[in-house]
Structure 1
Amino acid sequence: MDSLIGFAKGDRPVEFVAIVIAVALLFAAHALLPAAEKHRARQPAVYLGLSLSFGLLCLAATSGTAGARILYFFYTLFLLASSGRSLVLLAVDVLFGRRTHRAPPRIFRDLTQAVVYVIVLMLSLRATGVEPGSLLTTSALLTAVIGLALQDTLGNMVSGLALQMQRPFEVGDWIQFDPDPRGIGQVTEVNWRATTVMTNDLVEVIVPNALLAKNQIRNYSQPSHVSRRIVSVQGPYNVPPKRVHDAILSALAGTQGVLADPSPWVQTRNFGENGIEYAIYFYTAEFAQRDRIDGLVRDRVWYAFQRATIDLPFPTRTVHMHASSEDRDLRESERELERRDRMLRFVDFLAVLPAEQHRKLAASASVHMYAPGEVVVTQGDRSSELFVIDRGEVVVEFARGGVPFVVARLGAGKFFGEMGLMTGEARTATVRAHTECELLVIRHGPFHDALASTPGVVEKISELLAARQAELEAIASQRPLLEPSQDRSKRLISQIKDFFKL
């Protein structure tokens, strides 16, 4: 109190220096803090304003009274608190942030500030003539009661410090803190008492740090964002596991969210009651979208099984009962055969086949289904199937300089793959399902039988194919072709006869 009066009279330069230091620290903190953090300098500014206000009230009060001592205590407390707060901002937010190039953990900032405030309180009590040690020794019972009441809080604080030192996770990481799958979420905040986690259900879960320190923590974001997923499916007993594995792996190729490296793999896990159980192991870098990616994998497996004529097993206790007759089954088969025969009429070069061979070819055709985005054929691959679009739409992509671009869109009634069927040439373009598609597939073997039993059709087919190929290549290359149509037809005749060994 006397020192403050002396400062007012100009006899105590120490008080003046203390205020100057507090103001200098405040301006330094405001100037050096990042733009987004400058609002933190408001707190020491408020403390400094309160200190000056209590100082003026103290000067107006009667010296030596209890009221004057209380006013002087608050003057000293807020003056030191302002300097302490500014020092913490400079040391933690400015120096630590610039050295580590990241924001300091909140728990580290809060604990540092708490220690500074305790020191400020002790110094303020001493400045007013009160010894802090005497208060602690005379209130042992109160200290014990407070210690017991803060036992859990102190445990959480110590656990929070341990988590910050070990750093098992950071803000933004996906962790699992409970065996229950609902205990998975993204860390949004770590403070001195608890860690806040946001689950996929957009539910905020506040987990005490002491609980995290005791439990096993799974971090799906460290050391990298790549994590493994497992999806289980069942296959029938009458299909070899190798065939099921190949169908599943072909379904995973190009599935959104599934990484090609590390490559996925399939495990024959168990022989179950209803079928063989398979575990699909794949990797993803999009853990937040894991449920959606798992669903996409199951969708693709269903389509792959349908194309490979692999039935998903039903429970053994399911009994299918339906009335059937040979006449009705025969009529249904005839209707389906007529439909396929009509579909093949859209293929112009097949029109030269006799009706009987045309119908046999329709009977040998199979129906394949593709999911949106799935690749039907890949540019550069060798295969010998012709595809006729029964339902849906596909896009034809041509790669030039490593960059694919769409050259055509084909809908119901269109066909592709004729050169692979006729000559076995590598695919000149990639065809991808744009919507869910149902394709009629003509294979090499049945078509060979049709050509072998119908002499003379090879020349007619080659003329039609030569014209069609010339048109497609002109579109892809965007320049006129140098090879005459007759020469192309002769070359195709030779290739077709060699390929079919006619």
Structure 2
Amino acid sequence: MKLSEHLTLTGGVGIAVAAVMILLLPLVLPKGERGRTKLPLILLLLYVAIVASRSFLDDDSPSHEPLKVAGVFFLGSSMARSGFLLVLHSVITRTLGGNVPRIVRDLVQALLFMGVLMLTLRAAGVEPSSLLTTSALLTAVIGLSLQDTLGNLFAGLAIQAQRPFRVGDWIQYDDTEHHIGRIVEMNWRAVKVETLDKVEMTVPNATLAKSSLQNYSMPTRVARRHAYVEAPYDRPPERVIPQLVDAVRGVAGVLPRPPADAVVKDFTERGVRYDVRYYIDDFEQRELIGGQVRERLWYALQRMGVEIPVPQRLVRMFDYTEERLEHEAEARVDERDRALKRVDFLRALPDEARHRLAEGTHTRMYAPGETIIVEGEAGEELFIVRSGEVRVEIGRRKRHEVARLGPGQFFGEMSLMTGEHRKASVRAVRESEILVIDREALRPVLEEAPELAETISRVLAEREEMLDEADDASTSDMGVKKSVERETSVLLWRIRKLFSLKD
């Protein structure tokens, strides 16, 4: 007997089985999903309506067969839907210990309905495979029309397999900031995303599969955020950055670990741009937290007496006479000359020679932690600390601090005068201004007065001997004198050779 005859002759049994399955659904489904019992119930009621309507038709009515086929499909679909929900929530979900992805559920349910349709057509005497093989044109039309749908379907399957995001994650799928949202639903065709403006966006799976996704909820809920602020060029970063970082600490929502920090981001027409970086773990509140961070930065700048600069163009007009320019240049040279007097072996130079040497010097600025010279490298410059502080370190692999030098102190004199390689590395501790004397600035002075080389060599030798005496207090006066004379001769020979001076 055909399937259709079984279902129609024993319609009461089919209705009973379908009704029992529907009654069991509320016992299995979670409270929030009990509305899913509506579809199998509607399908069952349609079957009952068809059975009832057939009783009013004549036996030879042409509507009997179509109604019978439709009734078989509705009853089978009701059972398939109820059976799928019962198995899903009573067996699969409890066994796996989690929710089955929406796209998988929809795909399985579609296959079940397709199976019921095939069985119904076969029961009606129609071979489903013959419908597809007899019309190649129909198949091509259907394939082309479903191209986008199938693309979304397979893209959704790929997303479920790779799982780049989950429901509840915050994602961004393009460069538009308004396209940042929280995933509220994933199905076979698209993903629904809710933005902070409470706007729901439906993004096709194919679009997400082709996009470069940013997931702000993975691998952890901690995400780094940025706040940008400009400060004038005349404010050193070393003083601005600590104030900006301190301002961010204590803002509600900003995590203490990892700690906030700030870096120089760029140099713009408005000033120095700083990037203040902080971390949050509540991405939904990012705009509120960001607003509070920028508010604190404004107050920090106000406390420093810094106005946030606007785009500007600096036009300077000078009405300097030649005498005034010469006076200012001479004042700068005099200031450098005073710094040179603090160096013992340069103090021995005549005032005119030292002043000429000051004309060839220049200043450099070094940031905290920046290396000035490196141990073992060749050098030809002497450095005098004008402001700040530097650290002297020895050891190439494991460095040890041996001294700190402040304003008025100097280093690098042996490399300048004898060409020795650097005996230590020097690094800035704080922002430091350094006066630099190079060999080319000293050469003309020595070429004009070669006898100055002997004076400089003696001062260097005496200073080296004083340092050695501090380590060995038992050295006799006669031994010291002989040692100084010997060291003076050696240094003088090396200075003359380096600067190509005649005896």
Pairing partner for 1:115 from 102, 111, 114: 111
* 1:242 is aligned to 2:238: yes
CA shift at 1:94, angstroms? 4.1
Mapped contact 2:185–2:193 kept (Cα < 8 A): yes
Secondary structure of 1:195's counterpart equals: strand
CA distance in 2, matches of 1:175, 1:70: 50
**For residue 35 of structure 2, what is the aligned residue in structure 1?**
39
Mapped contact 1:236–1:310 kept (Cα < 8 A): yes
* 1:160 is aligned to 2:156: yes
* 1:190 is aligned to 2:186: yes
Secondary structure of 1:255's counterpart equals: coil
Pairing partner for 1:232 from 220, 228, 232: 228
CA shift at 1:155, angstroms? 0.6
Secondary structure of 1:269's counterpart equals: strand
* 1:30 is aligned to 2:26: yes
* 1:89 is aligned to 2:85: yes
The unaligned stretches of length 5 or more in structure 1 are 321-502
**For residue 374 of structure 1, what is the aligned residue in structure 2?**
none
CA shift at 1:216, angstroms? 0.7
* 1:303 is aligned to 2:299: yes
Secondary structure of 1:130's counterpart equals: coil
Q: How does 1:138-217 map to 2 (within 5 A)?
A: 138-217=134-213
TM-score, normalised via structure 2 length: 0.58
CA distance in 2, matches of 1:87, 1:196: 28
Q: Which amino acid is 1:248 matched to?
A: L
Secondary structure of 2:63's counterpart equals: helix
Q: Which amino acid is 2:189 matched to?
A: R
TM-score, normalised via structure 1 length: 0.58
Q: Do the aligned partners of residues 269 and 39 (structure 1) sit closer, same or farther apart at CA in structure 2, a change above 3 Å counting?
A: closer
| Residues 321-370 of structure 1: per-residue CA shift (max 9 Å, x gap) | xxxxxxxxxxxxxxxxxxxxxxxxxxxxxxxxxxxxxxxxxxxxxxxxxx
| Root-mean-square deviation over aligned CA pairs | 2.7
CA shift at 1:139, angstroms? 2.5
Q: Do the aligned partners of residues 290 and 35 (structure 1) sit closer, same or farther apart at CA in structure 2, a change above 3 Å counting?
A: closer
| Residues 68-107 of structure 1: per-residue CA shift (max 9 Å, x gap) | 2112101211111011001121233443433455544332
Mapped contact 2:4–2:123 kept (Cα < 8 A): no
Q: Do the aligned partners of residues 52 and 278 (structure 1) sit closer, same or farther apart at CA in structure 2, a change above 3 Å counting?
A: same
CA distance in 2, matches of 1:152, 1:4: 36
Mapped contact 2:4–2:124 kept (Cα < 8 A): no
| Residues 413-442 of structure 1: per-residue CA shift (max 9 Å, x gap) | xxxxxxxxxxxxxxxxxxxxxxxxxxxxxx
Secondary structure of 1:254's counterpart equals: coil
Mapped contact 2:4–2:69 kept (Cα < 8 A): no
**For residue 102 of structure 2, what is the aligned residue in structure 1?**
106
CA distance in 1, matches of 2:76, 2:20: 13
Q: Do the aligned partners of residues 83 and 319 (structure 1) sit closer, same or farther apart at CA in structure 2, a change above 3 Å counting?
A: same
Q: How does 1:282-293 map to 2 (within 5 A)?
A: 282-293=278-289
Mapped contact 2:270–2:310 kept (Cα < 8 A): yes
Bigger-Rg structure (1/2): 2
Q: Which amino acid is 2:214 matched to?
A: R
* 1:127 is aligned to 2:123: yes
CA distance in 2, matches of 1:236, 1:213: 45
CA shift at 1:61, angstroms? 4.4
**For residue 253 of structure 2, what is the aligned residue in structure 1?**
257
| Residues 53-74 of structure 1: per-residue CA shift (max 9 Å, x gap) | 3234445545576422112101
CA shift at 1:18, angstroms? 4.4
* 1:268 is aligned to 2:264: yes
Secondary structure of 1:185's counterpart equals: strand
CA distance in 2, matches of 1:110, 1:64: 40
| Residues 200-257 of structure 1: per-residue CA shift (max 9 Å, x gap) | 3333322111111011110111222211011122223333322211111111121122
CA distance in 1, matches of 2:6, 2:280: 72
Q: Which amino acid is 2:230 matched to?
A: Q
Q: Which amino acid is 2:302 matched to?
A: Q
Secondary structure of 1:168's counterpart equals: coil
**For residue 371 of structure 1, what is the aligned residue in structure 2?**
none
CA shift at 1:29, angstroms? 2.2
Mapped contact 2:106–2:188 kept (Cα < 8 A): yes
Q: Do the aligned partners of residues 285 and 7 (structure 1) sit closer, same or farther apart at CA in structure 2, a change above 3 Å counting?
A: closer
Mapped contact 1:5–1:59 kept (Cα < 8 A): no
CA distance in 1, matches of 2:293, 2:7: 78
Secondary structure of 2:194's counterpart equals: strand
Q: Do the aligned partners of residues 252 and 131 (structure 1) sit closer, same or farther apart at CA in structure 2, a change above 3 Å counting?
A: same
Q: Which amino acid is 1:187 matched to?
A: I
Q: Do the aligned partners of residues 36 and 127 (structure 1) sit closer, same or farther apart at CA in structure 2, a change above 3 Å counting?
A: same
Q: How does 1:310-349 map to 2 (within 5 A)?
A: 310-317=306-313
Mapped contact 2:231–2:308 kept (Cα < 8 A): yes
CA distance in 2, matches of 1:7, 1:285: 58
| Residues 123-180 of structure 1: per-residue CA shift (max 9 Å, x gap) | 0111111111112222221121111111111111111121122221122221101112
Q: Do the aligned partners of residues 314 and 137 (structure 1) sit closer, same or farther apart at CA in structure 2, a change above 3 Å counting?
A: closer
The unaligned stretches of length 5 or more in structure 2 are 317-503
CA distance in 2, matches of 1:313, 1:7: 83
User: Equivalent pairs: percent with the same residue?
Assistant: 43
**For residue 422 of structure 2, what is the aligned residue in structure 1?**
none
CA distance in 1, matches of 2:26, 2:288: 47
Mapped contact 1:4–1:59 kept (Cα < 8 A): no
Mapped contact 1:93–1:104 kept (Cα < 8 A): no
CA shift at 1:31, angstroms? 2.2
Aligned length: 316
Secondary structure of 1:202's counterpart equals: coil
Q: Which amino acid is 1:178 matched to?
A: D
Q: Do the aligned partners of residues 218 and 4 (structure 1) sit closer, same or farther apart at CA in structure 2, a change above 3 Å counting?
A: closer
CA distance in 2, matches of 1:159, 1:42: 30
Secondary structure of 2:276's counterpart equals: strand
**For residue 278 of structure 1, what is the aligned residue in structure 2?**
274
Q: Do the aligned partners of residues 22 and 307 (structure 1) sit closer, same or farther apart at CA in structure 2, a change above 3 Å counting?
A: same
Q: How does 1:370-381 map to 2 (within 5 A)?
A: none
Q: Which amino acid is 2:195 matched to?
A: T
CA distance in 1, matches of 2:12, 2:197: 57
